[in-house]
C-alpha cells in the first residue's frame, strides 16, 4: 500500500538524516524520481522551492514531496514519519549528551562528522540545482546564490528572490 510504503521510507530516511534535510535530498530524489517515478526531477526541485519560500524549518519539504507522490494523506504521513524517529532520538539523547560533555570521544565523533556532512550537503545542493542536468543556466543561478550566501550576510530570501528573477529570464 502506497501510504504505508511512503511512511516507512520517510521513517527510515529520518534515521539517517545526519546534517538535516539537505543531506537527505539526494536520497529522497533518487527514491521518488529515479526509483518510483512519482515525479520528474524538475517537479522535485519546484516542490523544494515552494518549501523554501515558506517560513519555518525546511523539513516541510517532506510534506510536499509526500503530497506530490500520493495525495494529502501521503503528505501528512511523510512529514510525521520523518519527524517522529528523529524527535525520539533527540528526546532520549539530549540528557545523555549533556552528561558526556567532557568525554574525549565526543569531540572526536563531532570532528569525524564534519567532512561527511559537508559532502552530503554539497550533494543535496547539486541535485536540487541541476533539475535539467548540468547546464550553464543552473550553474549561473546556483553559483550566484552560493557566492552571496558565502560572502555576504544578507537574508537568504534575497538569493531565492534573485533565483526567481533569473529563472524567469533564463528557463
With binding defined as CB under 8 A, does residue 11 bind another protein?
A: no
Degrees, nearest 5: CA angle 139-142-145: 140
Beta bridge partner(s), residue 131: 133
Site residues for another protein, 40-79, by CB under 8 A, read 42, 45-60, 63-64, 67, 79
Total chain residues near another protein (CB under 8 A): 104
If the CB atoms of residues 4 and 54 are measured against another protein, the closer one turns out to be 54
Q: Tell which one of 21, 32, 77, 78 touches another protein (CB under 8 A).
A: 21
From 4, 8, 15, 103, residue interacting with another protein (rule: CB under 8 A): 15
**Of 69, 87, 99, 102, which lies in the binding site for another protein, with binding defined by CB under 8 A?**
87
Residue 21 CB partners (closer than 8 Å, separation 6+)? 57, 58, 59, 61, 62, 124
Question: Considering beta carbons, is residue 2 or 52 the nearer one to another protein?
Answer: 52
DSSP string, 137-155: HHHHHHHHHHHHHHH----
Q: Which is nearer to another protein, 4 or 113 (CB)?
A: 113
Pick 4 or 40: Cβ nearer another protein = 40
Give the separation between CA 87 and CA 67, rounded to whole angstroms. 22
Listed residue (6, 15, 23, 8) closest to 66, CA to CA: 6
102 binds another protein (CB under 8 A): no
Residues 136-165 that bind another protein (CB under 8 A): 138, 141-150, 155-165
- Contact at 8 Å (CB) between 159 and 145? yes
Amino acid at each position: 500500500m502506497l501510504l504505508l510504503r511512503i511512511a516507512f521510507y520517510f521513517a527510515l530516511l529520518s534515521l539517517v538524516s545526519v546534517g538535516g534535510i539537505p543531506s537527505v535530498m539526494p536520497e529522497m530524489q533518487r527514491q521518488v524520481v529515479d526509483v518510483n517515478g512519482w515525479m520528474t526531477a524538475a517537479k522535485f526541485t519546484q516542490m523544494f522551492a515552494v518549501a523554501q519560500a515558506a517560513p519555518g524549518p525546511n523539513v516541510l519539504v517532506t510534506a510536499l514531496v509526500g503530497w506530490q507522490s500520493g495525495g494529502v494523506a501521503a503528505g501528512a504521513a511523510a512529514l510525521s514519519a520523518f519527524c517522529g524517529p528523529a524527535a525520539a532520538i533527540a528526546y532520549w539523547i539530549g540528557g545523555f549528551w549533556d552528561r558526556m560533555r567532557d568525554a574525549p570521544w565526543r569531540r572526536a565523533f563531532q570532528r569525524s562528522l564534519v567532512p561527511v556532512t559537508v559532502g552530503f550537503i554539497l550533494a543535496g545542493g547539486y541535485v536540487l540545482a541541476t533539475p535539467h542536468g548540468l547546464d550553464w543556466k543552473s550553474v549561473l543561478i546556483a553559483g550566484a546564490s552560493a557566492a552571496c550566501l558565502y560572502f555576504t550576510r544578507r537574508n537568504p530570501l534575497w538569493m531565492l528572490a534573485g533565483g526567481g528573477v533569473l529563472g524567469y529570464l533564463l528557463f
